[in-house]
Amino acid sequence: MSKKNKLKERIDQIKPHFEKGGKFASFHSVFEGFYTFLFTPDETSSSGVHIHDANDTKRTMITVVIALLPCCLFGMWNIGYQHSLATGLADMNVWQMFLYGLLAVLPMIITSYIVGLGIEFIFAQLRGHEIQEGFLVSGLLIPMICPVDTPCWMIAVAVAFAVIFAKEVFGGTGFNFINVALTARAFLFFAYPSKMSGDNVFVSLSGTPAIDAFSGATPLAEVAQLSTESVHLTAINGEPLSWMDMFWGFNAGSWGETSIFCILIGMVILLIAGIASWRIIISAVGGALAMGWLAHTFATPLYPVSMVSPVHQFCLGGLAFAIVFMATDPVTACHTNTGKWIYGFLVGAVAIIIRCYNTGFPEGAMLSVLLMNCFAPLIDWCVVERNISRRRRRIVYRKDSTL
């Protein structure tokens, strides 16, 4: 017998103690959460009409986590790479850079999961519900969209706020109307703006280099501060930074969202798995390109970000990351096909409007997605009502034609 089967057999032996009538029945939700995380449940539907499918919430969340891994792993390496640029440690190899980044973000990830899952366990126990796997994705997304030097206590406060007020008060996984990860990011931005301004992108862990800490503007923040009509970007060490460098992700920023290449890999995984909506992605890209072209056509040094070409807008900030991993959230996005086109287009267009014409907040992707999350139900309602009206007119026309 394999070790996995032996473990399952032992857990099955203690399972009755956590079921109704058992001495630990009050902890049934916690036990069920761990059990379903480790093993596929063997229960089947016994009544009513159900759709039997191999996919479930756990598989969906794990697939999204897999799609995030390229961005996550590259971001860890990029932290070490930015460290080597800032400190002049040219002798750091790939693995040393990756280890440096791993040690920098591991406390953030652990804090996010402990606080978020802990709150979900408590609410599940209070309600007597099963623990959902929705936070498997949010718990990784939240650290990835924050600067690497964000203190763990800030991560804990933001996660607690987002999970309670954007998710649990509405009923838990599947009932939240706004994206949980972006809610945490918005809370941090408005509560601690000095940490979320986009300027703090690197911090030394060892203390052995010539400097203990370093702050440098991200490319988007750098563009927003320009006073000339030409856009010249520099890396964290002052060297020129090309657009291709930013496509691959060799630039400073929130550590999980710098590489467009890795984001595209994640997008392909989500599309193949049928989790992300291609309608939302295409329309969001179209909306960003359209508004970017319009802003670029009437570019002015008064609004420096408007001088960036529409295509290059995707290399700045977290626009591409937000479109692929945030806007496509099946819970908070539109559900009708027509609504998805409208929703996605507005996400891209509003993001460019905010980043181009709000000099105090150059990154517009976060607010754009959150804003459209609020309007998604209204968009779907309008689409459904329009379809009902069209069908009603057809029925009336056919009745009149038969008279």
Long-range interactions of 27-35: CB distance < 8 A, separation 24+: 27/125, 28/128, 29/121, 29/124, 29/125, 29/128, 29/129, 29/130, 29/131, 30/121, 30/124, 30/125, 30/131, 32/130, 32/131, 33/121, 33/124, 33/130, 33/131, 35/11
Q: Tell me: pLDDT of 20 over 80.
A: no
Output the pLDDT for position 251: 86
pLDDT at 3: 60
pLDDT digits (tens, 9 = 90+) for 52-101: 555 667 778 889 999 999 999 999 999 999 888 888 777 788 899 999 99
Given a cut of 90, whether residue 112 has pLDDT beyond it is: yes
The secondary structure element, H or E, covering residue 213 is strand 213-214
User: Mean pLDDT throughout 49-53?
Assistant: 53
Contact 213, 309 (CB under 8 A): no
Farthest CA pair distance, the chain = 90
State the average pLDDT for the chain: 82
Q: Tell me, what's the pLDDT at 34?
A: 58
Residue 81 contacts residue 250 (beta carbons within 8 Å) = yes
Closest by Cα among 133, 66, 132 to 273? 66
Burial readout 38-72 (b: 16 or more C-beta within 10 A, e: otherwise)? eeeeeeeeeeeeeeeeeeeebebbebbbebbebbb
pLDDT band at 344 (very low <50, low <70, confident <90, very high): very high
- pLDDT higher than threshold 80 for residue 300: yes
Q: From CA 305, how far away is CA 208, in angstroms rounded?
A: 37
138-190, pLDDT tens digit by residue? 999 999 999 888 899 999 999 999 999 998 888 877 788 899 999 999 999 88
Angstrom distance (rounded) from CA 63 to CA 137: 9
Tokens representing 354?
């905010």
Q: Kindly tell me if the per-residue pLDDT of 40 is higher than 70.
A: no
pLDDT for 205 equals 45
Question: Can you give the pLDDT at residue 126?
Answer: 77
Q: What does the alpha-carbon distance between residue 318 and residue 75 come to, in Å, rounded to a whole number? A: 13
Residue 38 tokens read as 């480790």
Question: How does residue 317 score in pLDDT terms, banded at 50, 70 and 90?
Answer: confident
pLDDT of residue 209: 40
Q: What is the pLDDT of residue 185?
A: 92
Question: HSE of 78 in the Cβ direction (CA atoms, 13 Å)?
Answer: 27
pLDDT at 134: 75
Say yes or no to pLDDT of 11 above 50: yes
Q: Which of 43-47, 248-252, 380-384 has the highest average model confidence (pLDDT)?
A: 380-384
Indicate the pLDDT class of residue 399, thresholds 50, 70 and 90. low
Amino acid identity of 360? Answer: G
Q: Could you tell me which residue, 256 or 89, shows the higher pLDDT? A: 256
Cβ neighbours, 10 Å, residue 82: 27
Q: What is the pLDDT of residue 199?
A: 43
- Asked if residue 321 has pLDDT above 80, the reply is yes
Q: How many residues does the chain have?
A: 403
pLDDT in tens, 184-210: 999 998 888 877 754 444 444 444 443
The residue among 224 and 123 whose pLDDT is bigger is 123
Interval 323-340: pLDDT, tens: 999 999 989 999 999 999
CB 322 within 8 A of CB 368: yes
> What's the rounded mean pLDDT across residues 25-44?
60
- Give the position of tokens 């657009």: 243
Q: Quick: pLDDT tens for 283-296.
A: 999 999 999 999 99
Span 305-316, mean pLDDT? 88
**Could you give the percent of the chain with pLDDT greater than 70?**
74
